Amino acid sequence: MNSDLLQEIINLKNSKKEFSVITDTNNAKSYIFFLNEKIKEELKENENKIIELYKSRKDGLIKGTNLFVKNYHRPIKVVIVGAVHISQFFVEYAKSLNLDIYIIDPRGYFASEKRFPSANIINLWPDEAFKHCTLDKNTALIALTHDPKIDDPAIQEALKKNCFYIGALGSKKTHENRCNRLIENGFRKDEIKKIFGPVGIKFGGRSAPEIALSIIFQLMTEIYKQ
């Protein structure tokens, strides 16, 4: 890899752009690939396979070729509303994943750097917090407080911003009541169906670490669907 290409890769990483570096292992020549942009002529034959590997967020050699794909994706932004025990286990389990985690909770005693050393802490109510932590279609939001005064405004903002994953803790009855409140606030049923409630995959676990693990499984499944 020549120095100019290496510098371009460094600049792209610093600018937080998403791209892939495709290297021909026969001659060590490398190319930069951007999704939805014209591909280099040398890679045209394997364009679909490159896109497939890029979207899978996995690195590796394209089967039947000498092309190695190294992907550079921005960390997935995960906003957790509620500095509860489940949140602590979620953050701990997610350390090795490519996630940029924010904890929003106005209760400073619970949402502290001591309890969440590897997360971004915002000690504000959701309405104020989202002025500092914006949501978009590449954001996951998980509401865990069980308190409608905190969870509902966050879920409403996530629906408005079309977050790709929205999860909310609570029983089926709690979620039914939540959905009714959202309808009263003008949200459509097809929008509300996007919410995973109760959040997490169902495997019978009830403890905080088990629920955290079930949420991570569900979240990662949705990430790879994008």
Please report which confidence band the pLDDT of residue 96 belongs to, taking 50, 70 and 90 as the band edges. confident
DSSP lists the bridge partners of residue 103 as 80, 121
pLDDT for position 149: 93
Closest by CA position to 1, among listed 29, 22, 25, 27 = 29
How far apart CA 178 and CA 149 sit, in angstroms, is 11
Contacts of 43 (CB under 8 A, 6+ apart): 22, 31, 33, 50, 67
Q: What is the pLDDT of residues 176-191, one digit of tens each?
A: 999 999 999 999 999 9
The CATH class for the domain spanning 76-225 reads alpha beta
Check pLDDT > 90 for residue 14.
no
Check pLDDT > 80 for residue 226.
no
Q: How far apart are the first and last CA of the chain?
A: 31
Higher pLDDT, 217 or 8: 217
Assigned token pair, 211: 């629920």
pLDDT for position 12: 85
Check pLDDT > 80 for residue 2.
no
Give the mean model confidence (pLDDT) for residues 96-119.
92
How far apart CA 95 and CA 224 sit, in angstroms, is 18
pLDDT for position 197: 92
Most distant CA pair in the chain: distance in Å? 63
DSSP state of 96: G
pLDDT for position 205: 78
Give the mean model confidence (pLDDT) for residues 83-93.
96
One-letter identity of residue 22? I
Please report which confidence band the pLDDT of residue 9 belongs to, taking 50, 70 and 90 as the band edges. confident
Give the mean model confidence (pLDDT) for residues 60-81.
92
Give the mean model confidence (pLDDT) for residues 94-103.
92
Identify whether 198 is preceded by a cis peptide bond (ω within 30 of 0): yes
Answer whether 15's CB lies under 8 Å from 74's CB: no
Contacts of 216 (CB under 8 A, 6+ apart): 90, 93, 94, 97
pLDDT for position 57: 82
Q: What is the pLDDT of residues 26-59, one digit of tens each?
A: 998 999 999 989 998 889 999 999 998 998 888 9
Please report which confidence band the pLDDT of residue 5 belongs to, taking 50, 70 and 90 as the band edges. confident
Give the mean model confidence (pLDDT) for residues 147-170.
96
User: Rg of the chain over CA atoms, in angstroms?
Assistant: 20
CATH 3.40.50.720 domain locations along the chain: 76-225
Give the mean model confidence (pLDDT) for residues 14-27.
89
Sign of CA dihedral 167, 117, 83, 102: negative
Which residue reads 């996951």 in tokens?
140
Average pLDDT, the chain: 92
pLDDT for position 84: 96
Answer whether 84's CB lies under 8 Å from 110's CB: yes
Pairing of strands 120-122, 99-104: parallel
